[in-house]
Amino acid sequence: MNNTELHDLALIKGTPLMVIDHARIRQNFQDFRRMLPRVFPYFAIKANPEVQIARTLAREGSGFDIASWEEFTILRRALQGNKSQKWRFLNSKVIYANTIKNIESLDKMREYSIPMTFDNPAELDKIAAHCNNLPLILRIDVPNHGSVVELSSKFGARYEDCQSLLKHADQLHLHVIGVSFHVGSQCEDPHNFVAAFERARQVFDDAKHAGHELSLLDIGGGFPAPYSPGIQPFAAYAAMINSLIDKYFPSDTISIVAEPGRYFVATAATSIASVIGKSIRDGKPYYYINDGVYHTFSGFIYDHIQYHFKAFHNGKAVPSVVAGPTCDALDTISRDELLPDLAIGDLVYSDYTGAYTNASASNFNGFPPAKIAHINVNN
């Protein structure tokens, strides 16, 4: 969709508006499969929980990473077909990739055979008491250096604890099938995967020595979106990961999966907002728009992402500030955007807003989240 079409769509639908292009989602999925042929993707629904996105990726053949019963419900709503087809899909293409699960979710998951992750003995005890029939994946702690959002401080078993966890699972008659790791969200250095693969291989070897034959490796997510020019292309990550697979897991008896979220959806969305106020502060133009960090641009706070804005018309561009509509000074999205002179009522747009944006938007101060328009859905 070109700029004129985006502008016209925003005039019809109203702003704030997020336009999600399903053709881009399909292309991202196909690129992933082509460049990482041994890695089966499980889309992390948390990145963008729109039912239509799950439906598009299911049709492409993707698996799904869920973090809650509620996300599982989104996937069930997205699936079409008869009951037996849905049942087969849910039991073969879903991973419950949250190491901490509430008891209510475990009770509901009991009727399925979906693998779930763990990283501590208390979680094993809880699973044994409420959902002891599901296969398990041990999540290990790996370095998160070079990632915008680190996860290792909260998740992952230390290497020295892995054998005792496997032994504890045995004592509870639980079946551990594999190992998972996550190098951190928006990983900006593909070398981050090196230490993770090395540690995973150690855990596989230690487990085999202790009598545990593991068969699955989950390499998590972290594949970055091109928010800035310095971020390496996905091809660089794929080349690194393929070489590590060949080195550490050459046997095709080991299934390798991943949990891409941001990579599939970030580049698939463009957000459009209206200028609702303007002023000059400290010599700089300030533009107040009807979207902000409590809404579509929540990733500025939660994911430390610097979003950028463009105008739909040309003119002399000067450094400007773009701020959201709420009463909080924190609601300032960018302090140095090159923009032409804008009038109240003009529209601006921001690319690459499809990941962790509408997923965490609120209605702070009563301002509603952006409307969503899906294009190129191919129903």
Peptide bond into 340 cis (omega under 30): no
Gap between the Cα atoms of 306 and 69, Å rounded: 31
Are 367 and 295 spatial neighbours (Cβ–Cβ below 8 Å)? yes
Question: Strand 284-289 and strand 318-323: pairing?
Answer: parallel
Q: What 3 state SS string does 294-326 have? A: CCHHHHHHHCCCCCCCEECCCCCCEEEEEECCC
Are 265 and 47 spatial neighbours (Cβ–Cβ below 8 Å)? yes
Residue 111, SS3? coil
User: Taking the mean position of all CA atoms in its chain, how far away is CA 333?
Assistant: 21
* Phi, psi (degrees; rounded to nearest 5) at 307: -85, 155
Is residue 327 part of the annotated active site? The answer reads yes
Question: CA of 283: how far to CAs of 42, 84, 309, 319, in Å?
Answer: 48, 64, 20, 10
| E-state strands within the chain | 17-21, 39-44, 63-66, 94-96, 116-118, 136-139, 147-149, 176-180, 185-187, 216-218, 255-258, 269-281, 284-289, 310-311, 318-323, 332-339, 347-351, 371-375
Q: Which residue is it, tokens 């609601």? A: 331
Query: Which are the contacts of 126, defined by CB distance < 8 A and separation ≥ 6?
Result: 101, 103, 106
Gap between the Cα atoms of 163 and 212, Å rounded: 10
Gap between the Cα atoms of 38 and 18, Å rounded: 34
Q: Of 131, 162, 187, 327, which is the active-site residue? A: 327
Question: Strand 284-289 and strand 176-180: pairing?
Answer: unpaired
Residue 167, SS3? helix
Residues annotated as catalytic (active site), given as ranges:
327
